């Protein structure tokens, strides 16, 4: 069994692969206040709930955008499963052709997401990720990563609006009743949801034109379903892209997560 771990700004997602198929996943909150011991307890508990035997884990691989958490989660995995995880980064083969000015700047989550998409879908591709930032990654017809758009995430935009506009309240993100809001809360929800959907539609149109080819558009992230409902573009939701990509990278290297 191989463990894949995606550490993002709001969550740590674990995936477990056996015979080239994901057999279980679970999520923990990204919390820099938690110690390695706390993550070890939570990891052991999550695996127990999924009826997974830690001793069956032969390796692990991590993609992280939260450096302070990487070492703690890796230590937790080592303590629970007895393996030392590898991390997506310099020195690890990914098989992804990265055509940007400084490939080292590309986030490991976007690398894994791209590898996972290319393993299942035909290029060219646009990959939308709704996280703290909303990203749209472009993969050309030859399967090369050729660039990305980074925009504020939908919840962060809404939070910033409440923080900097004195008369606008803090609200939860949910589907607006209509585009034209009849009260302050509905107006804010409409701006957040329809604004994000319109941004994605516009970016897909413009990026597709630059790629000069019809593209397949895939999306993942916490509020993916809510935003995609309002998009006019045909976008397929696939929440497994990062974990699947990590598993593919693990297989290319066959060294991620050696036994201690």
**How far apart, in whole angstroms, are the C-alpha atoms of residue 51 and residue 67?**
29
Would residue 178 be called left, alpha or beta, if left means φ above 0 and alpha means ψ between -120 and 50 degrees? beta
In the Cβ-directed half-sphere of 30, how many Cα atoms lie within 13 Å? Answer: 19
Separation in Å, CA 77 to CA 8, 59, 85, 247? 17, 10, 7, 16
Contact by Cβ (8 Å): 11, 130 = no
**How far apart, in whole angstroms, are the C-alpha atoms of residue 27 and residue 16?**
12
In the Cβ-directed half-sphere of 185, how many Cα atoms lie within 13 Å? Answer: 7
Please give the distance of CA 72 from its chain centroid, rounded to a whole number.
Answer: 19
Contacts with 237 (C-beta within 8 Å, 6 or more apart), sequence order: 218, 219, 220, 224, 225, 228
Contact by Cβ (8 Å): 129, 110 = yes
Catalytic residue IDs? 109
Token pair 């206040």 in the structure block, residue:
33
Q: How far apart are the first and last CA of the chain?
A: 16
**How far apart, in whole angstroms, are the C-alpha atoms of residue 27 and residue 59?**
19
């Amino acid at each position: 069994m191989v463990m894949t771990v995606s550490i993002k700004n709001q969550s740590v997602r674990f995936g477990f692969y056996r015979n080239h198929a994901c057999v279980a996943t679970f999520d923990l909150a990204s919390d820099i206040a938690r110690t390695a011991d706390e993550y070890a307890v939570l990891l052991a508990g999550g695996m127990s709930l999924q009826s997974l035997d830690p001793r069956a884990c032969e390796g692990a691989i991590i993609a992280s955008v939260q450096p302070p958490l990487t070492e703690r989660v890796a230590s937790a995995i080592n303590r629970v499963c007895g393996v030392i995880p590898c991390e997506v980064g310099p020195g690890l083969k990914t098989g992804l052709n990265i055509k940007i000015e400084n490939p080292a700047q590309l986030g490991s989550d976007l690398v894994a997401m791209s590898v996972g998409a290319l393993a299942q879908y035909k290029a060219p591709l646009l990959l939308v990720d709704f996280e703290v930032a909303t990203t749209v990654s472009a993969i050309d017809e030859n399967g090369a990563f050729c660039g990305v758009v980074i925009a504020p995430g939908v919840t962060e935009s809404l939070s910033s609006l409440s923080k900097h506009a004195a008369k606008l309240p803090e609200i939860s993100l949910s589907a607006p009743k209509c585009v034209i809001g009849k009260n302050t809360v509905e107006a804010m929800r409409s701006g957040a949801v329809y604004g994000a959907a319109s941004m994605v539609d516009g970016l897909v149109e413009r990026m597709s034109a630059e790629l000069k080819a019809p593209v397949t558009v895939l999306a993942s992230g916490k509020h993916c379903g809510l935003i995609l409902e309002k998009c006019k573009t045909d976008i397929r939701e696939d929440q497994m892209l990062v974990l699947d990509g990590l598993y593919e990278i693990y297989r290319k290297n066959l060294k991620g997560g050696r036994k201690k």
